[in-house]
Structure 1
Amino acid sequence: MSEDRGAFIWYQLMTPDAAGAREFYRAVVGWAIDERGESLPGGGEYRMIRRADGGTQGGVLTLAGPMASNPAGWLGYIHTPDVDAAAARIIDAGGAVHVPAADMPGVGRMAMVADPQGAVFYLMTPTPPPGDPDAKSDVFDYEKPQRVRWNELQTTDVEAAVALYGELFGWEQRDRMPMGEMGDYLFIHHREGMIGAIMPRMPDVPQSAWTFYFGADDIDRAAQAVTDGGGRLLGEINEIPGGEFAVHCADPAGATFGLVGPRVA
């Protein structure tokens, strides 16, 4: 896979109910999560998330065995050319390594880490597919449905997060939007594209964390599918700059995510 330091290259849902997630996200986003997955040590399994265009959008890890007590949630994988060096820098900055760096044959080297404010994510150096050394991930796209369209970090120390992620991944913070007493919403860029934002942690968010916004074809239809499927809307549907709409949600197992897309009706 071509050098793409700082790109979000994979997204993973950790859930105790992969079968339920399969039905829920099919109705909400339109994904086809595999009915069966690869068995893992400890009793869990790993299923792939498929988009309607035939691409793979990420994976679903069943929480079982030693991981059964972990909360449901979405995690992002960020490309780094040196997982071990990035993990060491995170520790030096006051963060933590939850799963040490290890190689997965045919996939790449990865580690699960937490930044100094507690937000968890994966570091990854991917192995390119056979015969395609310049392959690039397409799981993030600023405009397309069924991709992740926005990566948002809520953190207890915005400026420290901007500095550390910028150092690790080459991100640039170029613009900001005042939110009154809540502070500023700081937009982050990877190379020439805007990939998300960093903002102060809101009082109803238990700890610093990343939220990923999935592209919806119709925000009202998708939001209705959330509640019809046993999930919750964690706020109102709000218009965002550019004329589209977004809403923060939780799936039936409690994993939080966002939706962004047009209002069709």
Structure 2
Amino acid sequence: MTALARTLTDTDDDHLSLADFNRISALIGSEVGIRLPPAKRLMVEGRLRKRVRTLKLANLGAYGDYLFRKGGLDSELPFLINAVTTNKTDFFREPEHFEIIEKLLLPELISRRERNPLIKVWSAASSTGAEAYTTAMVLADQAAQRRDFRFAVLGTDISTDVLEQGRTGVYPAELIAPVPPGMQSRYLMFARRQGNRPEVRIVPELRRLVQFQRLNLMAENYGIDRDVDIIFLRNVLIYFDKVDQAKVITRLVGHLRPGGYLLLGHSESMIGTSITMRQIAPAVFQKI
């Protein structure tokens, strides 16, 4: 038996049983729409070992018992979701989208609205908030130049851990490398004394314009305003199956005002949905 095969047996106490992994996979699929195929088993186990230590359990087998045979699932579910969800994000990720917002979407949205409109932007899978704060930086620069609109940014995510980081607005200094120097000076605070891992913080003036709340994209109702101007849903649909992709997009589009925009990741598309939207740029769609 190979070493890999040995680690995947049900008799190894350092791993989830196949039955428990399958139950976790089904649970995460139904709760948040993320697929966890057998190839993800070792990854899931690696992420859950921190929870095993936090709960002072003996091993992953004991964690499975705690979830499914000792009544711990209800209280543990938010932590389980935090552990297994992927939270990849960067400042100015896919920068073409922010150029399009500045040069095309924002002027068009303002031209169709009343004087000094409130432009609403929703980062629908915000992770730690880099996308939401990038958007806020771009809009704040434009608001200072144009002086003819206001804006508010909402970031939502299923993970309570990343939402808390978004609210505090503190990031490792290496993550802000893509932020242009001028924006760094305007919107970031650098500690006078840096520790072993330097950090920066979003300035309070910008943090006040960005709100964060927990939201499950698999929920039937989102409880979000239905006059949003721009929605980001980038690099999320790849984790859902086709049926759930269509449901999520349908619900999101229902929260866009007529003429509003949906921005997907460049690796994603509108295939699998029945929503009629006008594509105006790569991965940028307008509600008709």
TM-score normalized by structure 2? 0.24
Higher strand share: 1
Higher relative contact order (CA 8 A, sep 6+): 1
Structure with greater proportional helix content: 2
TM-score by length of 1: 0.25
